[in-house]
Structure 1
Amino acid sequence: MLQLNVKNETSRLRAVVLGSALNNGPTPTKEEAYDPKSLEHIIAGTYPIEKDMVQEMEAFNKVFQRYDVKVFRPEMIENYNQIFTRDIGFVIDDVFVKANILPDRNRELDAIQYVLDQINPSKIVRPPEEVHIEGGDVMLWNDYIFIGTYKGSDYKDYITARTNMQGVQYIKELFPNKIVKEFDLVKSKLEARDNALHLDCCFQPVGKDKGIIYKSGFREESDYVYLVNLFGKENLFHITRDEMYNMNSNVFSIDTNVVVSEKNFTRLNNWLREQGFTVEEIPYAEIAKQEGLLRCSTLPLIRD
C-alpha cells in the first residue's frame, strides 16, 4: 500500500506520477484547443511534436531516478494527451482527491487506476459534479491551502476557468483544520500572456520560505499583497509578463533545496542559485507550448 503524505510543495519527494507524451495523438485543430497558448502554436504551425516531448519528459524522469524517487507513469491511451497529470488529481496530507476535470479528459484517471489501487480506498475522494477543482490550482503550504479560482459571473464561458468557488468550499469542508485561502485569477481565452490558467502559472513556493510570483496574474491586488505579507517581499522572485507566459513559476521541487527548472529560465535559475538552491536544468520548452510545464506534469504522492 502507498502511504500518501503531501503537506507542502517542497519537502523531499519520494513518489510521484509523471505524465507521458507517448502516443500523444495528432496536433489538435483550432476548435480542440483547451487554452490560448496551444491555439497560438496550432495556428503558427509550431505545435510540439511527440518525439520532442517524449525526450523532454525522459530528461525529467532521469532527474527523478538520480534522486531515487519512485516514479509511476500513466498506462498508455492511444492518440491521447496524458502529459498533465497535475490536472486529474492531487494529494492533501494523506487524501487523494480526484479532480472533476473537463469531461473529455476523464480517461486520464483510468490510466492511473493501477496506482489508485495501491491506496487505501477510504483515502480517495471524488467531489460532487458541481465542484470544479484542478491540481494546478491547489497549492499546499503546511497549515495553508492556497487555491486559484475565478469569481467572474461569466465563469462558465471560460474553458480556462478550471476551479470554481464550490471547489474552494469543498476543500474547506474536507480540511477544516487548514487555513484555506482562495485567489481570484486573471483569465483570457485569447491572450496567453494574460491568462493564469492555474494558480501555479502565477505563484509557487520554493524552499522553506521563498516563492516565485507574477503580480498581474491576480485579479485583486489584495490577493497579491496577502502573499507578500506571508512570505516577505525580499523572499519573492517577481517574474515579468513574458516570463509568466513562458511558465517560469511552474518549476518543480524535489526537496527544500533542489528545484527542477527549464534550462532557458536564465534569470530565475540564477536567482535560485544565489539563494542556495541546486537547480536541475532540463529542456521543457516544447511542452511549455501547451500552457503547462514541470509542476503540471507531476502528481506528487509522497513527500517526507
Structure 2
Amino acid sequence: MLQLNVKNETSRLMTVILGTAKSNGPTPEEHEAYDPKSLEHIKAGTYPVEADMVKEMEALNAVFKKYNVEVYRPEVIENYNQIFSRDIGFVIDDIFIKANILPDRERELDAIQYIIDKINPSKVVRPPEEAHIEGGDVMLWDDYIFIGTYKGSDYKDYITARTNMAGVNFIKELFPHKIVKEFDLVKSRIEARDNALHLDCCFQPVGKDKGVIYKSGFREEADYMYLVNLFGKENLFHIEREEMYNMNSNFFSIATDVVVIEKNFTRLEKWLIERGFTVETVPYAEIAKQEGLLRCSTLPLIRE
C-alpha cells in the first residue's frame, strides 16, 4: 500500500507519478487545442514532436533517479497525450483527489488506475460532477491550500478556466482545518501571454518561505497582495510577461533546497543559486509549447 503524504510543494520527494510522452499522437487540429499556446504552435507548424518530448521527460526522470525518487509512469494509451499528470489528480495530506477534468481526458485517469489501486480506497475521493478542479490550480503550503480559479460569469465559455468555485468549496469542506484561499486568475482563449491556465502559471512557493510570482496573472490586486503580505516582498521573485509565457513559475521542487527548472530560465536560476538552492536544469522547451511544464507533468504522492 502507498501511504500518501503531501503537505507542501517543497519537502523531500519520495514517490511521484511522472507523465509520459510515448505514443503522444499526431499534431492536433486547430479546433482540438485546449489552450492558446498549443494553438499558436499548431498554426505556426512548430508543435512539438514525440521524440523530442520523450527525450525531455527522460531528462527529468534521470534527475529523479539521481535523488532516489520512486517514479511511476502511466500505462501508455496509443496516440494520446499523457504528459500532464498534474491535471488528472493530486494529493493533499494523505488523500488522493481525482480531478473532474475535461471529459475527453478521462482515459488518462484509467491509465494510472494501477497506481491508485495501491492506495487505501477510503483515501481516494472524487468531487461531485459540478465541482471542477485540476491539480495545477492546487498549491499546498502546510496549513494553507492556495487554489487558482476563475470567477467571471463567462466561466463556461473558457476552455482555459479549469477550476470553479464549486471545486474550491469542495476542498474547503474536505479540509476544514486548513486555510483555503482562492485566487481569481486572468484567462485568455486567444493570447497565451495573458492566460494563467492554472495557479502554477503565475505563482509557486519554493524552499521554506520563498516564492515565484507573476503579478499580472491575478485579476484582483488584493489576491496578489495577499501573497506579498504572507511571504514578504523580499522573498518573492517577480517574473515578467514573457517569462510567465515561458512558464518560469512552473518549476518543481525535489526538496526544500533542490529545485528542477527549465534550462533557459537563467534569471530564475541566478536568483535561486544566490539564495543557496541546488538547481537542476533540464531541457523542457518543447513540452512548454503545450502550456505546461515541470510541475504540470508530475503528480507527487509522497513527500517526507
TM-score w.r.t. the length of structure 2 is 1.00
Distance between the aligned counterparts of 2:147 and 2:263, measured in 1? 28
Match of 1:44 in 2: 44
Instruction: Using the TM superposition, give the Cα deviation of residue 276 of structure 1 relative to its aligned residue in structure 2, in angstroms.
Output: 0.4
Q: Partners in 1 of 2:277 and 2:18 — Cα distance?
A: 23
Partner secondary structure for residue 34 of structure 1: coil
User: Which position in structure 1 is the counterpart of 2:32?
Assistant: 32
SS of residue in 2 equivalent to 1:68 = coil
1:88 aligns with 2:78: no
Which residue in the other structure is 2:157 paired with? 157
Mapped partners of 2:99, 2:115: distance in 1: 15
Instruction: Give the distance between the partners of 2:187 and 2:281, measured in 1 at CA.
Output: 29
1:215 Cα deviation from its structure 2 partner: 0.1
Counterpart amino acid of 1:172?
A: K
Count how many residue pairs are aligned between Structure 1 and Structure 2.
304
Corresponding position of 1:73: 73
Secondary structure (helix, strand or coil) at the match of 1:264 reads coil
2:115 corresponds in structure 1 to 115
Shift of 1:143: 0.2
- Give SS of 2:243's match: helix
Q: Distance in 2 between matches of 1:244 and 1:269?
A: 15
Shift of 1:122: 0.1
Distance in structure 2 (CA, Å) of the matches to 1:126 and 1:222: 31
Aligned counterparts of 1:101 and 1:269: Cα–Cα separation in 2: 33
Deviation (angstroms), 1:173: 0.1
Structure 2: how far apart are the matches of 1:246 and 1:221?
22
Letter of the 2:26 partner, please give it: P
Q: 1: distance between equivalents of 2:106 and 2:246?
A: 27
Alignment-derived partner of residue 226 in structure 2: 226
Name structure 1 gaps, 5 residues minimum. none
1:138-181, Cα deviation, whole Å (9 max, x unpaired): 00000000000000000000000000000000000000000000
The equivalences for 1:90-105 within 5 A come to: 90-105=90-105
**Structure 2 CA distance for aligned equivalents of residues 114 and 67 of structure 1:** 24
* Equivalent position amino acid for 2:155 in 1: Y
Looking at structure 2, the residues matched to 228 and 275 of structure 1 have their Cα atoms a distance apart, in angstroms, of 18
| Structure-2 residue corresponding to 1:190 | 190
Residues 115-134 of structure 1 correspond to what in structure 2 (within 5 A)? Answer: 115-134=115-134
Query: Following TM superposition, where does structure 1 have runs of at least 4 consecutive aligned residues deviating by more than 4 angstroms?
Result: none
Question: Partners of 1:34 and 1:168 in 2: how far apart?
Answer: 22
Query: What is the distance in 2 between the residues matched to 1:289 and 1:273?
Result: 26
CA distance in 1, matches of 2:115, 2:263: 31
TM-superposed deviation, 1:7 = 0.1
Aligned position for 1:171:
171
Q: CA RMSD in A?
A: 0.2
Is there any run of 5+ residues in structure 2 with no aligned partner, and where?
A: none
